[in-house]
Amino acid sequence: MTLEPSEFDTRIATLVRVSNELLEIRYKPGTVFITEDVAEVQSMRRTIMGSAPYATLTIIPEDTDFSMESMRTDHAGADRSESQIIATAIVAKSTLIERLTNVYLNFFPQLQRMLVTDNEAEARVDGATAEGDREHGELIG
């Protein structure tokens, strides 16, 4: 069975189910990450992808910001043991956002393989869309 890509909108992001194995999360320009809005994106992600293993490719534009509350919140904590995300590539279009993302991920380590970069082409080749072996933690797409 082939899955047609489909788009879903939240207040701060558009989520695109590219395939059964890849979800793209594209944050909207001017986004300020607040806990409630991030929770909406997480809920939509779980609804869209269900329980099968998958990878995510997240694009964060340069004109975004984080609230202090959102930096102190473990957004994946509630479903970390149940999550089917096996790999995540995050493209941060701003050096500051890239650094803040790395700080956040160091404070709240993730179970899946992670790539944080400012280069979308690198993320697509070496990150969430690279084909690989699930058993060895390679990113898939």
CA distances from 36 to 91, 99, 117, 120 (A): 22, 22, 25, 27
Where exactly are the structural domains of the chain? 6-136
Domain 6-136 coded CATH 3.30.750.24: yes
Coil, strand, or helix at residue 85? strand
Predicted structure pTM score: 0.81
Task: For residue 41, give the H/E element and its range.
Answer: helix 35-49
pLDDT digit string, tens, across residues 32-48: 999 999 999 999 998 99
pLDDT band at 67 (very low <50, low <70, confident <90, very high): confident
